[in-house]
Each structure stands twice: as C-alpha cells, then as structure tokens.
Amino acid sequence: MVAALDTPGGARAVARCDGLREAPYSDMEGGLTRGYLTPAYRAAQDALAGWMEAAGMAVRRDAAANLVGRYEGEAPGAPALMIASHLDSVRHGGAYDGPLGILLGVECVAALHAAGRRLPFAIEVYAFGDEEGSRFPAAMLTSRAVAGTLAPEALDIADADGVTLQQAGVDPATYLSARRRPEEIFAYLEAHIEQGPVLEDEGLALGTVTGIAAQLRYALTVRGLAGHAGTSSMALRCDPLPGVAEMVLAAEQVARADASDAVATVGRIEALPGAANVIAGEVRFTLDVRAGEQARRDRVAHAILACCRDVAQTRGLDLAVETVHDLPPSPCDPELMDLMDAALADAGQPVFRLVSGAGHDAMNMAALCPTAMLFIRCRGGISHNPAEHVEPADAEAALAVMLAFLERLGASRHAR
Amino acid sequence: MVAALDTPGGARAVARCDGLREAPYSDMEGGLTRGYLTPAYRAAQDALAGWMEAAGMAVRRDAAANLVGRYEGEAPGAPALMIASHLDSVRHGGAYDGPLGILLGVECVAALHAAGRRLPFAIEVYAFGDEEGSRFPAAMLTSRAVAGTLAPEALDIADADGVTLQQAGVDPATYLSARRRPEEIFAYLEAHIEQGPVLEDEGLALGTVTGIAAQLRYALTVRGLAGHAGTSSMALRCDPLPGVAEMVLAAEQVARADASDAVATVGRIEALPGAANVIAGEVRFTLDVRAGEQARRDRVAHAILACCRDVAQTRGLDLAVETVHDLPPSPCDPELMDLMDAALADAGQPVFRLVSGAGHDAMNMAALCPTAMLFIRCRGGISHNPAEHVEPADAEAALAVMLAFLERLGASRHAR
C-alpha cells in the first residue's frame, strides 16, 4: 500500500526546490531567474535527471527540450499518466512555482519504486520548459508542442539578445516531434501552488482545481472635455475621470455581488493629458474578467459593461470598448475531479474545489487528454516573488493525495 | 463724455490681436508662440509701441523689457492707473490671452485722446513680458519686478537652449529697477478673456472678477496589496484602485455640494505596477482645490481629505497625503469691484461676479496697489489653444465698461 510509506517525500520535494533556487540553477545572483534553455535551465535539468533516475525512471530529453522520466506500469509500453509542471521561472521569482509539481511527481514514482509497486499504467513525469515566457516572446511553447497545438511559425522567435530558439539549442525542424498521442497519454495530473489567497483564507492545505478560468480582457477609453482645473466650474465640467471612477466601482460591485469565482480587475488606468492642473479629456483603463465557466464570466463582464455604458450616458461621456483577449475556460475532467476529491478524503484532507485564475500547462494538455490539477496553499497567496513560501507539511499532504489519486486511478483502470 | 464715442475700438483691439498671431509676431510657423524676449516678442512690442504713440502715449521700455505707454492726466506727473496684461503666449496658443487686455487699454487711451480728454489721474498701459513662463523656467518675472516682489536670485535662469536672461537682452543688474512705487501707481486694471466656460454658460459677455482663487494642490498615495488578477478572489483583495475611485467621486461630490466657486480636480492618476493582469498595489493621484476665498477652499479640501481618510480606513488601505502647493488667494479690491459693477451697469451690461481660477499678473500687482479685473467671454471657454475665440462685440462691450470704469474712477478721485 503506497500511501503507507513513511518517507517524507513532500518535504524532500520542497528541499529540492530550495536547492534549485541558486547558482548554478539560477541565471542571476542573489535570486531565482531560470529562463528556458539557459545554462541554469540545463543545470536544473541535470539535477532533476539524477533524481528521476534514482526514483527508478528512464530519462530522456525530448525535441522541445523537456526533461521526461518514464516509470513503466505493470505491462511495459502501457499508456501513461503524465505528471508535469514547469522548470522555468519568472524573473526574480519563487522556488516552488512549477518545480514543486515536477518534484512531487518524482516523489510519487520514488514511493512506488521503493515499494516495488507497478500500476496498471505507466507514469511519465514531464518538466516543461517555458510556461512563464520569461525569456522568449511566447509562453508554454513546450506543453503546446507536446499537446500538438503549436504552429511551426510560433518557433520563429528570438530572446531580448537576439538569440533564436535554434541558437539556444533546440531544432525548430524537429521541435514539433515532441508531440504525444492520446493513445500514449491517457490523463494529465499537475500539482501547483495556488498563487492566490483562497486556500490560506479557508484554512486548507489543498484543493481540487475545477479548471483554468475563462478570461476576457478589455481596453476602455472614456472621453469627456479637457479643461483648466481652475477656470471650469463644477457644474460645467465634462470630466471623464469621475465617470471612470464609477465604472471601476461597478466592476468591483458586480463581481462581488455575483458571489461566485468570478473576478474583475482594473489594473491599469491613465488620465490624459495627465497634469494636476488640467481636467482630463480622456481616461484609458483595462478591465480583466475571469471565471471558471464562460457563461458566468460573460454574465459578469456584460453586467459591468452595461454599468459602464449607463455611466457614460448619464454623464455625457463617450465610451469605446475594445476586446483585447477572449480566452475560453479549460475545465478539468469531471471524473478526475471526483477522483481527486476522493483522494483528498482518503488522505484525511477536507474536500474543497477552486478555480485557477492563472494559466497553467494543464490548459494546453486538455487538448490531448483529460486533465486534473491539485492546488497547494502558499503563504499569503504570494507568488512570482522571492517571498513565495510553501510549508513542507502541505507538500507532504499533497504527495499523500497524489498517491491516493494514483491508487484510485489504478483501480478505475483495472475496472475497465 | 467718453462713453459716447462711436469708434469701434473693441473690434480694432480684436483685429490687432489677430494681426499679432503670425510672423513676424510669432516664433513658429502656422501658429502663435511668442516667448519672452524672442524676436517675435520684440516685433510685437514694436507694433504695439506704434499703436500706443498713435493713441497719444509716451512710450518706453523698462528694465524688465516691459513696454510702457503713459498718458498724462489733468496735471502732469500725477499718480497713474495701470492698465495691463501680457504680450507673451503659451506654445501654440491663442491670440487673445493677454494681448486683448493690453490693446483694450490702448483703446481706452485712444478714445480719451481722440476726445481731448484728460482724467484726474494718468494712465500707464503695461505690456508684461512673461506671464506664461513659456520660455524661461519661471513665470510672471516682469510683473513681479514691477510690483517689487521679485528676488534677485530668480533672475539666474536660462531657457531650454541655455540662453540666459542677459543673453536674451535684459540686464539682471538693473532688472529690479523696473519696480514702481505706490505713490506712482494707485490702482491696477486688467481685462482678460475668462479662459473658462462660466460667462458663456450664463449668456453674459462680461463679469467683474472677485480675485484670483486660492489654490491647494495635493499628491496622494494609496497603498493596498498587489496581486494576480486571476488568483485573488474578490473577497480577499486589498485593491487600492476602487478606494481611489471612491476618493475621486468624493472630490467631485464635495465640491459640487459646496455650490460655491470652489472646484476640485483629479487630473493625474496612476496605478502601480500598472498591468492589466495585476491588481494594483499602489495608486497615486493629484488633487487640486481652488476657491475665491481661502476659508472656502480649505473647507472643501479638508472635507475631501476627510472622505479619503474614511475610505482608506474602511477599506484597510494606507493613505499618504503630501501638500504640493498652498497659494493664498489674491482678492480684487472691494471698492474697485463695486466700481466695476457700476461700470457694467453704465454700459448696459448685467452685473455679474466670478472668481478667476487661473493666475494673472494682477495677483502680483496686488502687492503694489488695489486691483480690478474684467473678464471677457471666450467661445467654449477654450484658451491656450489656437481655437481661442472672442467675439468683437464682446470686446466692444468690454471697452465701453472700461471707459465707464475710468469715468467713475475719475469722479471718485475728484471727490477726494
């Protein structure tokens, strides 16, 4: 029984993440920056390859420079569950965003290997390469290559120093051969830190992810009439900024009132001409709306925009709305979510579900196979920051849940 | 009786402003820019000197490069009423902001001269030099020199090309000798376009100015907690921007509710880090509050800041308030305001008073003598813009009021 193992594998996974946060595993001094295909990336792959081998895996690098460790199932060559996350980081980021999910995958295999266990399926642990897009002007190239959704022309890019992908060490001509087939990979599991405050606020270590939120992003421009801050009486102004203030509050109120997982954010705002003694003639701002389901997202977004139009009409302002992004949701597989809930219960954890507002490699893999994600609490919800922190006990609990998930998945595969 | 003159002097003043809007009277092609001490400034002075002489004035340039025309009163060497405004312009400005007040002064004298009239006081028409501060990094140097409030060290400046005042043609060593004494100048009159929409909205050509508004300017910083726009649920956010939105609305509401001449403006706003997918951690904005009386200004400003503090406390935000400017008001002389009201009535104009939210040379001259100002309607309240426009009929009405003001001032001087 795998779950009975008393190896503190979760703590070891955390310690290994800690070990990867500095040279030679970081491209910078005094912090962690690990770009795709940099020397630090190669060094981290080398360390990871050693841990994979020690856990009983056969290790290879694929054509997209992903590191892949395979642990065979009961029958050699069986379809595999992919357990994955990313090895790259943002600039001056945290140690756990990505690597923790990979290393928990390695610990799952290490536990099975130590117990001499084989499951009715193989396990392939993938360390993806450029989830963050911190080096090249693209993101998630490698998981898109594996999922088969990457267009060849997406590879014609260079980093800020003009270094092309080819010069960085991968061959665009063979890159797409990293693609896997549904008959090879039957399911996908990713553990990841939450990067938000929800689990901490709920007092929970772990949660079943329902999917990657659908996202809408708008650029709004509100025009009124610029004027001298001293010579225009209040009654005669057509100042767009108080109107935009009402729109910002409408975004907050509508999203709050929806009382769902929907979130709405105005992150950028600019008044033009932008002088203290000039009434603005124009205000530009962004509106980002996300929710686990597209219909909920659209309901919230459209209600906010309706409020904005009302405000503009009431105040005699001109409102222009441009849709910048419209990304559909990437729901996790319902059966795998049920399995994850059961695994949480098996491991003595409360069952809790939450949506991921941020994107993950899982959203690409959903094109290949059913996906599941497990979120792990991180302190203060802080991520993309050196202050990122995960309690080893939470990683331990995550490992126990992942092992229980494997047991249940194995049972369900046996039952077929 | 001067007011009976049928010379269309107001229309001529407008036409002369129009004539001064292009080369050689502008420093730019295709628009009007006239900086202090530039060739265009000198050319405009030359044209103006001719008009002053034709109106019967003795003309001189003072040590600050102001052009001065003097028309003696009944007794030579009598104390003078100064009628003035500025000859310089902002970059790509309008034709009437400044010159119209000077040329209406010239027309007042021309009318007296044509009628062979002398008043119980002299008239000195001043064309001030750098009200706008569009060339040197200072403003209103020349009226401050005349009023005796200019510090010698203020003259140690150069324009954007490194040209010092001395290189531009004035002598810092003698500059302050442009100062006039109260026994020489007993009162000051300035006619100026309103540069705001109040008169047009009231359907009035003219208004008695009650003074230059007192001004307070603040820089406010509101801090919350930055976060990922996708991963932070609405309930767990500490987003400073909706709080600032409430503050912007409070500024508008408090100033409106005061129902006075008080105005409050947020002209600059910035959310940091300022990305569409990041909840702002900090928002910075400016607050500009003005009113004709300091107490009213302070009442409105303090009420707005109290609202800001309430919002910050309710939302758990950190609020920092820095006072950037605190300029006292420059009230016009009450007796001269009464005289101006009476002159409006004499000329068949409705009596109306309004505050000036913008600064004028009059605010400096108030240190020397009692001041009066007459505002003239400009289309749409537009100024500092090539679209600036004044109806000749409004200038005609202004001239009639100024002449009636002179008559009444003469009567009051006689009565002493």
Q: What is the pLDDT of residue B117?
A: 96
Q: Which residues, at least 6 apart from B53, have a Cβ–Cβ distance to it below 8 Å?
A: B59, B69
Task: Kindly state whether A228 is in contact with chain B, defined as any CB-CB distance less than 8 angstroms.
Answer: yes
Residue where the block lists tokens 């939120």 = A213
Q: What is the pLDDT of residues B126-161, one digit of tens each?
A: 999 999 888 998 889 999 999 999 999 999 999 999
Task: Kindly state whether B95 is in contact with chain A, defined as any CB-CB distance less than 8 angstroms.
Answer: no
Give the domain A2-213+329-414 fold.
Answer: Aminopeptidase (3.40.630)
Q: Which residues, at least 6 apart from B334, have a Cβ–Cβ distance to it below 8 Å?
A: none
* pLDDT, average across residues A272-288: 93
Is ipTM > 0.90 here? no
Q: What is the pLDDT of residue A2?
A: 41
* pLDDT, average across residues B170-180: 97
Q: Do B263 and A229 count as a contact with CB atoms less than 8 A apart?
A: yes
Q: Is the pLDDT of residue B4 over 50?
A: no
Domains B2-213+329-414 and B215-327 share a fold: no
Q: Give the CATH architecture of domain A215-327.
A: 2-Layer Sandwich (3.30)
Q: What is the pLDDT of residues A3-52, one digit of tens each?
A: 434 558 999 999 999 999 999 999 999 999 999 999 999 999 999 999 99
Tell me phi and psi for residue A132, to 5 degrees. Answer: -80, -25
- Measured between CA atoms, how close is B164 to chain A, in angstroms? 28
Q: What is the pLDDT of residues A330-342, one digit of tens each?
A: 999 999 999 999 9
- Amino acid letter, A363: M
* pLDDT, average across residues A216-240: 93
According to DSSP, the β-strands at B206-212 and B263-265 are: unpaired
The dihedral through the CA atoms of B48, B50, B54, B60 has a sign that is positive
According to DSSP, the β-strands at B122-128 and B80-86 are: parallel
Q: What is the pLDDT of residues B33-91, one digit of tens each?
A: 999 999 999 999 999 999 999 999 999 999 999 999 999 999 999 999 999 999 999 98
* Burial state string for B54-82 with b = 16 or more CB within 10 A and e = fewer than 16: ebbbebeebbbbbbbbbbbbeeeebbbbb
End-to-end CA, chain B: 21
Maximum CA extent, chain A: 83
pTM here is 0.83
Residue of chain A nearest B291, judged by CA positions: A230
Q: What is the pLDDT of residues A69-118, one digit of tens each?
A: 999 999 999 999 999 999 999 988 999 999 999 999 999 999 999 999 99
Task: Kindly state whether B321 is in contact with chain A, defined as any CB-CB distance less than 8 angstroms.
Answer: no
| A416 — pLDDT class (breaks 50, 70, 90) | low
| B227 — pLDDT class (breaks 50, 70, 90) | confident
* pLDDT, average across residues B215-237: 92
Tell me phi and psi for residue B410, to 5 degrees. Answer: -60, -45
Q: Is the pLDDT of residue B1 over 50?
A: no
Q: Do A268 and B274 count as a contact with CB atoms less than 8 A apart?
A: yes
Instruction: Tell me A286's DSSP state.
Output: E
Please, what is the average pLDDT of chain A? 95
Task: Kindly state whether B327 is in contact with chain A, defined as any CB-CB distance less than 8 angstroms.
Answer: no
Instruction: Tell me B224's DSSP state.
Output: -
Q: Do B236 and A324 count as a contact with CB atoms less than 8 A apart?
A: no
Alpha-carbon distance of A180 to A184, in angstroms, equals: 7
Q: What is the pLDDT of residues B313-330, one digit of tens each?
A: 999 999 999 998 888 999
- Measured between CA atoms, how close is B293 to chain A, in angstroms? 13
Q: What is the pLDDT of residue B43?
A: 98
Domain range summary for chain B, segments of one domain joined by +: 2-213+329-414, 215-327
Q: Is the pLDDT of residue B384 over 90?
A: no
Instruction: Tell me A280's DSSP state.
Output: -
